[in-house]
Structures are given as structure tokens and as C-alpha cells.
Amino acid sequence: MIVMKFGGTSVESAEAIRRVAAIVAARVQQKPLVVVSAMGKTTNRILAAADKAAAGNLADALNSVEELKDYTRREALSAAGEASAKQVEAILSREFSSLESCMEAIAQRGELTPALWDEATSHGERISSAVVAIAFSGMGMNAAHLDAREVLITDSRHSQALPLYSRAYAKFKDAAVPLLQDQVVVMGGFIGSTQDGVTTTLGRGGSDFSAAIAGAGIEAEEIQIWTDVDGMLTCDPRVVEGGKRLRAVSFAEAAEMAYFGAKVLHPATVQPAIEKNIPVRILNSRRPEVEGTKIVGEVVCSTNPVKSIACKRGITTVNVRSLRMLMAHGFLRRIFEVFDRYKTPVDMVSTSEVSVSLTIDQTHLLDEILAELSKIAEVTVESQRAIVCLVGEAIRDTPGVAARVFAALARAGINVRMISQGASLLNISLVVDDSQVVNAVQALHAEFFAETDPEVFA
């Protein structure tokens, strides 16, 4: 058994769904459980409608829902074919009626609560998974739809729910494994439910996480993440073109790359796979012949100390300085308690005797955080920053990597604002001005990937 996850661009149209069907049909002997995201930009469109409803513009919200329904009907009917038209219409009628009721509830409350956020956004995956299952059947596959809310059991933290792993795994074993013996099973990613049956979501990008949980639950041979790129690359093509594909990386390297900006993989995805030692493969649904990138449990040795250069933009640096707290016991604890109270994650930290610099990417509560920090120290803020992160298992054991980093950046005229090495043995992270990200990545890529190990890089 395998898990195959397809993102929104892979199921955005009838043509895309037919392409996915061909990929799945070629692997039907491997007993695939298919996890799909919402079609195209469906989730964004639902949220835009929900914002209108929350602002009191219910009529506009319902018009937006109707426009989304028209788009979905057109593509769904084309993908499923005439013979399945009644099934498609029944699903769309049920789901869009439910979505309209959700918009009315949002308008009545005058706000988009976390519970209503989950209920509204869940419709994208509920619709796409049902439509794709029908389309597969229309194309000759024996396919079954599985409502993710019946198997992916979570806690009750809306919009960022965490799976109750043992319960979810048991549900997948009982519900999915028997179906997979003679059917292709299709379910929506991103969504789940509490033990009481209340709809939840795993957060944006959670479909990858859903696929990993499903894979662990059915004890899959492999978890495949089908996207619109050939695999994990040596640099983000949206930042710098010309990156090389990695044939294989370790789970640890993939997790670092994902956290620091490698958008092809959700940062939490690898955790269930690590625990069950299930390989994860990143593949391109538009180029299925490409072998992609395989993520494995063991260390992937390479003559290149760096495997990839990731970057995370939109970073804010917070500098906390207090001569009064020189060598004072509890200074760091007091600082981090503030961020903990406001549930704001910290990416990087650098310390000296009297100051602490740290980076965050969530700034909606920054004013409150600064007000509290100002009670114990002098605080300054620098926005428009970015983290550039070099990832590789061999960094820790290769002399001179840091020297090469600084030399390459110096030649490019780039000033490093902050650096961190040692907290993770797999990376060197540094902060630069956001305006210099492209130049920084170009300089580092030229330094570390002029020559590459053919066993590891394609």
C-alpha cells in the first residue's frame, strides 16, 4: 500500500484531474490511498467569501459562493463525464448548501471564529475528494471516497488541530485498509474531526501532514507528495533559478529545509513518517517520469557538505538589551516567557552577556510583546529581514564551511545581521536584509554547488 497526495494545482481542473487519474491508474497494483487538496484556489475563495460575510455583506458572500460553485461544477462534470453527472450534482448540491449555511452563521456572528473557519474551509477538500473519486470511477478505476473526518481524529484546537495519533491510526487501519484491498481510496487532506465529530483542520498546508498520518496509519510502503516541481532542489526556484534536484535527503535535512522555506513540503509532514520509518518521495504531477526526491531515515552521504539553501522571508528581528541584567539569573527565562504567553514562535536566537537577538515571523501581537519586554530591558525592532539557511548533514563535520559562507557573502557585498550555528548540527542560519536575499542565495549557491556529487544531485 502507498499514499499519494496531490496538491491544489494537481486537481485544479478537469484536465488536471484526468492527469492525476492516469498517474494513479499506473500504480493501482500498489494499492494507493489518494489524498487531495481543494481544487485550485478554492480555499482562498472560501475565505474571501467568509470575510465578506463577517463584515456584514452576506449577499456578496453568497454570490462568491455561487461563482465558486459554477467553476467547480464545470470542471467536475467535465472530469467525471455524463454518466456520473447526477452523482456530481448531488454532491455539489449538498456541500454548497452546507457552505451557504456556514456563511449565514458567520454573518450572524459577525466574525469568523476558529470553529467557523474550520467548517468553512473544510468544504474545499470535502468537495474535491468526492469529485475525484467519482472521476476515477468514470475513468475505469474501482474507487471509493473516504471522508477524512471519519478517520483523522484530532484535538479540539480549531484551525491548528493536532492529531490524536493512536486513535487516528486505529481508524485508518479499521476503515481504510479493508477498502484498499480492491479499491483506490480517495480522501481530502487538511481536515479531520474531534472525537465528538466536530470538524477541525490541521492548518494551511496540512494536506501533506494528512498524507503522512494516513501513511503511518495504514503502514504504507511509501508516502508520495505529488506537486508541481520535480522534487526538492538546491535552492528555491522562486528566489533563484538554476537549482539542482536532490535525488535523496535524510528526514532530518528535509525537516530543516521545510521549516526554513522549502515550500514543497509541510514542516510537520515528516514526523509520522520518521516514527514509522516510511520513505517520503516528492514528485511532479506534470512530469511523472521524473524520479523526484526520496526522503529516507538514514544519513545520505555526499561529497557536498551543503545539500540545499533555503530562505524564509518576512522576518522581524527583536533585540533585547539590558545592562541591569548583566549575568542576572533568569534573564533569558523572563524574555521567553513573554513570547510563550503570546504564543509567538521564535526561529533564531543569538545571545551575549547583556543582550539577546531573536527572530519571529508572526508579528500580529508584536506591540503587546514589546510593551512587556520594555519593562525589563531596552528593546529595538528591525523589520524587512530574511533568514538564509544552509542545510546538510556534513556541515557539522566539514572544516571551513562557515569561512566559505562569509567569504562568498563578502564578495557579494552582503552584510550578515545575525548568525546561528550549533543549535542544529545540520544547518548554518543567518539573517540578511530582505532586499539582499536573491544576491545572498546566488552567491552561496555558486560557492557550494559549482560541482555536485552525481550520486546525490541530478
In CATH, what number is assigned to the domain containing residue 122?
3.40.1160.10
List, as one string, the DSSP characters of 138-151.
HTT--EEE--GGGT
**The C-alpha cell that represents 11 in the structure block:** 486537481
Q: What is the mean pLDDT of the chain?
A: 92
Residue 224 in domain: no
pLDDT at 175: 97
In one-letter notation, the amino acid at residue 454 is P
What is the DSSP secondary structure assignment for residue 435, as one 8-state letter?
Answer: G
117, part of any domain:
yes
The CATH number that applies at residue 410 is: 3.30.2130.10
Number of domains in the chain: 2
Q: Please say whether the beta carbons of 280 and 297 come within 8 A.
A: no
Q: Which domain holds residue 99?
A: 2-197+209-218
Same domain, 55 and 182: yes
Last residue within a domain, chosen from 163, 189, 218:
218
In this prediction, residue 92 has a pLDDT band, given cuts at 50, 70 and 90, of very high
pTM of this structure:
0.85
Q: Do both 332 and 213 map to the same domain? A: no
Same domain flag for 192 and 313: no
| Range 162-176 average pLDDT | 97
CA–CA separation, 342 and 387 (whole Å)? 22
**141 lies in some domain:** yes
Answer yes or no: is 9 within a domain: yes
Mark whether 156 and 14 lie in a shared domain: yes
Same structural domain for residues 152 and 25? yes
pLDDT at 328: 65
**Cβ–Cβ under 8 Å, residues 169 and 275:** no
* Distance in angstroms (rounded) separating the CA atoms of residues 66 and 273: 39
Rounded percentage of the chain residues whose pLDDT exceeds 90: 79
Average pLDDT over residues 439-456: 95
Share of the chain above pLDDT 70, in %: 97
Residue 126 has pLDDT above 60, yes or no: yes
Q: Where is pLDDT greater, at 257 or 201? A: 201
Beta 280-284 vs 248-250: how paired, if at all?
A: unpaired
> Has residue 14 been placed in a domain?
yes
In a domain, 297, yes or no: no
Question: What was the pLDDT predicted at 424?
Answer: 66
Tell whether 365 is covered by a domain.
yes
Q: Which residues contact 296 (CB under 8 A, 6 or more apart)?
A: 248, 249, 250, 251, 279
Indicate whether 185 and 38 sit together in one domain.
Answer: yes
* Residues 293, 281: Cα–Cα separation, whole Å: 5
Residue 329: pLDDT over 80: no
Of residues 361, 425, 424, the one with CA closest to residue 396: 425
Asked if the structure places residue 70 within a domain, the reply is yes
Quickly state the pLDDT bin for 369 (edges 50, 70, 90).
Answer: very high
Q: Is 213 in the same domain as 348? A: no
